Amino acid sequence: MKFNVGTPDRIARMIIGAVLVPLPLLPGIALFASPIWFWASLIVGAVLIVTALIRFCPLYSVLGLSTRKVPSR
């Protein structure tokens, strides 16, 4: 597996994922009363965190993108 997620991208993914995962669990946010938004936020947040941790994004791979400055070996 070639790494295709660079450091700034990883930081952004971790921050956004860290916000999206607990957000639907907070009381009083009407948007997350809908099960679709509740689960979408949890799943997208978890995927962002996992892709930041493993430094690989399957979608980037399919599209031929990379945010790394140094090419993968």
Render pLDDT for 11-70 as a digit per residue (tens, 0 to 9). 999 999 999 999 999 998 999 999 999 999 999 999 999 999 999 999 999 999 999 987
pLDDT of residue 72: 54
Binned at pLDDT 50, 70 and 90, residue 73 comes out as low
- pTM beyond 0.85: yes
Contact partners, residue 66, CB within 8 Å, separation at least 6: 4, 5, 6, 60, 72
pLDDT of residue 1: 82
- Model confidence at 71: pLDDT above 70: no
> In 3D, which of 23, 48, 27, 53 has the Cα closest to residue 38?
23
pLDDT of residue 38: 96
